[in-house]
Amino acid sequence: MMKTKNITEQGYGMFAKFLHWGMALMLIALIAVGTYMVGLDKADPSKMQIVGMHKSFGVIFMQLAILRIIWSRINHSPKLPNVLATWEKILSKIITGSLYLLMLAIPFSGYAMTNLFGYPVSLFGTVDLPLLFGKNPEMGLLAKQAHVLMVYTLLAALFAHIAGALKHRYMDGAEADVLPRMMSIKPRA
């Protein structure tokens, strides 16, 4: 039976898996739509709508990232296999830590950018969320550069994260395989 909570050593619970894969899909969509929308002409009537969607889903993503951090604190993650080298464990912690940090910092910089350019963030055009910053276009430009730079950093960290999971599954011993803890595949024999 699927457990909601994590089972230390054996794997992640249903809720952690839902957040992991759901947010992975959202992240891909946010990056794809973000890249697409900045290429649209200012006069394009769909641009405002698409940017609005990007912001609203970005805010939801940030709430899910906060929920995920709280969940991982109250419900400890399974330990890394003992067979991993110390450098692998340290690197894994650095990459996972960077991913958590960027999952908060990227949407926050988007939110800040919008406020600094003088606008509130509207949630699907229904409610305006609180203004966290007053108008300051120079700082807005800085937040915009940070938003893009952090997306590139996130992509590099994601690449390392996926490469690590694949290395432990296909290149290391069977005890190093961590993939079945996060997805429904058979552990290696």
Q: Kind and range of the H or E element at 122?
A: strand 122-123
If one asks whether residue 63 binds ligand HEM (CB under 6 A), the answer comes out as no
Q: Give the residue with the Cβ less far from ligand HEM, 81 or 110.
A: 110
Residues 165, 74, 16, 110: is their CA dihedral positive or negative? negative
- Per DSSP, the residues of 25-47 read HHHHHHHHHHHHHHTS-TT-HHH
**Contact with ligand HEM (CB under 6 A) among 11, 34, 81, 140:** 34
**Contact with ligand HEM (CB under 6 A) among 16, 59, 64, 116:** 59
**Amino acid letter for position 70:** I
- Find the shortest distance in angstroms from Cβ 35 to ligand HEM: 5
If one asks whether residue 68 binds ligand HEM (CB under 6 A), the answer comes out as no
Site map (CB under 6 A) of ligand HEM, residues 104-123, x = contact: --xx--xx-xx------x--
Report how far residue 165's alpha carbon sits from residue 179's, in angstroms, rounded to the nearest whole number. 6
